Amino acid sequence: MGYIKFDKAQVVNLEYSLSREIVRTNRAGSYSSTTIVGCNTRKYHGLLVCPVDALGGERHVLLSALDTTVVSNGQSFNTGIRKYHGDYYSPKGHKYIEDFDIQDIPGMTYRVGNVIMKQERLLVHYEEQLLVRYTILDTDEPVKLQLRPFLAFRNIHQLTHANMWANTRTEPVSNGVSMRMYDGFPMLHMQLSCKADFVPVPDWYLGVEYTEEQKRGYDFSEDLFVPGFFEVTAGKGDVIVFSASTKEERPSGFKSKFTKTVSAKTPRSDFGNSLRNAAQQFIEKRGNDTNIVAGYPWFGAWGRDTFISLPGLALARTSEDLFAAVLDTQVRRMKGGLFPNMGNDDNPAFNSVDAPLWFFQAVYKYGLEPGETWKRYGSAMKDVLNAYRNGTSFGIHMRENGLIYADAPGKALTWMDAVVNGVPVTPRNGYAVEINALWYNAVCFSLDCARGARDRSFVKEWEKLPELIGRSFIEMFWDEEHGYLADYVNDTENRNMHVRPNMVIATSLPYRMINLDQMKRILDIANRMLVTPRGLRTLSPSEEGYCGIYCGNQEMRDSAYHQGTVWPWLLGPFCEGWLKVYGEGGISRVRKLIMGFEETLTEAGISTISEIYDGDPPHSPGGAISQAWSVGEVFRIYTLLNEENKENNK
């Protein structure tokens, strides 16, 4: 048994096991996700979920589930599980699970009668192929295995139902069959490593329900198609591999391919290796582009999330320059000094005032020499600076005081971007504190890079601006009586002094306008009012409008999203600022916060970190089960602590 494991008592308890999910990716856009017992509770769950270029590049569920029936001594034991109306589960295969282990790959050991069978699954890196390996560990006599594929062939955001238009015909391929239910989809090839009988029994399974979608206020019932089942005979010690792929594969290579893929993985043997594995799940390389997927299972690549998470995620890679690949991909997508915050290449949304400024911080963390930085990214850096100074989309512009002002009616341009019924929940229009802290950081960093490259014209044009920004920033945001920075200021309101985490970002950047005493006062207030064991609250509980529980339909969730909900990624800026202020004396506090996430590896998304947590204790997880900037920032600070520990032990 490995570092992360679950015993029989845990997995057979559906209240426990259905709240624990797994997601694995192929690093090229596809993923596999379900609960630890294999019961899908979300429309986003599926064993093979792939981007389909012919359908806009969005992800589609091809293979939803794979039921395995063990036939022994004349009795049949179906190890699958699905929910139907009225809390009715059928079959109830979870009761046969002896244990669940995830150290290398997800693996379940089943005991059915006198048969002990291990089932393991993985996605092949950079291929749209799922492999499921069955090992018969013990049996008195040969047994039959019947494998039933449940097919969806639909977008991850939608549900499907029995219909007359589905193409239910199968075509024979080597050791299996292939089929494509609708035009535009790729063929799905289902094959086994050995000769198998395919018994065609086409049927729709009606009314499969997804409890998590029901909780979120969405449609939650769909129908799945089963074309039939594969049947093979196996004895003690036999190994059989099932493959589902968008291209026909060579069955004789399935076993060695499975073994080779597993051997290349870093085992989740401790907290650090678990974070390292989780970090690599977000990397998506397709063609010439390398993206960071913001979160699983429903997010795509977001500009803001990419730049914030990249420094931490890059620490998990040793063989390739992830920084360069991701930054170059993003630079190619720039338009008018802005980076697309969401959407695909055909329909990008440039609705973020902070994503371009986080770009500078990501480039800084890349760690190139100043002159080399300017050579590679100087053109993009100047495009952003000029756009912000001269004015660009969404009312983003620099005013005479040197600060950035952004105001677009009905839009939420900062990372606190939830909108309910067309109205931003936390509008923050005007001068936002973290935007201007990032602006100063961007200008100062660019000047240092330009000096390194001896770009005298740029230096002459911009060198006087930092002093103006710094002076205006203190005048605009610092409140001596409160002892912290305003969250935002605009032309129609006084300083907004709500205690939010955005001011913490100003304490963590390499180029700062506040002194050490101001940093200490800001961080002490944040530590007292915002910091939790799972990250920072987005609003202090003492403020009007605080919402400590994230639940309900989309409107209710969006209303709470930045009104008290805890975000793990904010621990990155907080811990970095805390260490700048308290030095070695602050290490124990930071270590306690970061190592506290070890508990979360067996909650919600297994061996990863969720998007958000409730503001109120016990800080239950919510949102996406695996979020790039949550993992990236926790792993970045974890690595920083280890480096400091090595330095202190020299």
**Taking a C-beta distance cutoff of 8 angstroms, is the pair 495, 486 a contact?**
yes
Q: Is 502 helix (H, G, I), strand (E, B) or coil?
A: helix
Count other C-beta atoms under 10 Å from residue 425's C-beta: 19
**Taking a C-beta distance cutoff of 8 angstroms, is the pair 408, 375 a contact?**
no
Rounded to the nearest 5 percent, the helix, strand and coil shares of the chain are 35, 30, 35
Query: Which of these, 543, 536, 557, lies nearest to 637 by C-alpha position?
Result: 536
**How many Å separate Cα 503 from the centre of its chain?**
25
Instruction: Give me the long-range contacts of 251-256 (CB less than 8 A, separation at least 24).
Output: 251/174, 251/175, 251/176, 251/191, 251/192, 251/193, 251/194, 252/193, 254/131, 254/191, 254/192, 254/193, 255/133, 255/193
- Strand (E) or helix (H) holding 92: strand 88-92
Fold classification of 5-251+258-263 is: Beta-galactosidase; Chain A, domain 5 (2.70.98)
pLDDT value at residue 346:
65
pLDDT value at residue 492:
87
Q: How many CA atoms lie within 13 A of 189 on its CB side?
A: 18
- Rounded to whole angstroms, how far apart are CA atoms 517 and 182? 64
Parallel, antiparallel or unpaired: strands 239-245 and 188-192: antiparallel
pLDDT value at residue 344:
64
> pTM for this structure?
0.95
For the chain of 650 residues, list the mean pLDDT of each consecutive stretch of 10.
86 96 95 98 98 94 98 94 95 95 92 95 96 97 97 98 96 97 97 97 98 95 98 97 97 96 90 95 93 95 95 82 94 92 72 94 96 97 97 94 93 92 91 98 98 98 98 98 97 92 98 97 98 98 96 92 97 98 96 97 96 97 97 97 70
pLDDT value at residue 536:
98
- Rounded to whole angstroms, how far apart are CA atoms 381 and 331? 10
- Rounded to whole angstroms, how far apart are CA atoms 627 and 312? 12
Quote the crossing angle between the two packed helices 433-452 and 465-477, to the nearest 10°.
160
pLDDT value at residue 345:
64
Residue type present at position 195:
K
Count other C-beta atoms under 10 Å from residue 59's C-beta: 23
Architecture of the domain whose range is 271-648: Alpha/alpha barrel (1.50)
Q: Fill in the DSSP letter of residue 84.
A: E
As annotated, the residues of the chain forming the CATH 1.50.10.10 domain(s) are 271-648
pLDDT value at residue 103:
84
Burial class (CB in 10 A: 0-12, 13-18, 19+), 183: exposed
Residue type present at position 395:
G
Total length of the chain: 650
Cα separations (Å) of 317 from 72, 613, 645, 648? 46, 28, 21, 25
As annotated, the residues of the chain forming the CATH 2.70.98 domain(s) are 5-251+258-263
Handedness of CA 183, 186, 188, 189 (dihedral sign): positive
Cα separations (Å) of 174 from 178, 194, 197, 227, 245? 10, 10, 11, 17, 13
| Residue 631: both structure tokens together | 């993992």
Handedness of CA 558, 562, 567, 570 (dihedral sign): positive
Query: Which of these, 571, 448, 449, lies nearest to 508 by C-alpha position?
Result: 571
pLDDT value at residue 104:
87
pLDDT value at residue 493:
83
DSSP sequence for 516-527: HHHHHHHHHHHH
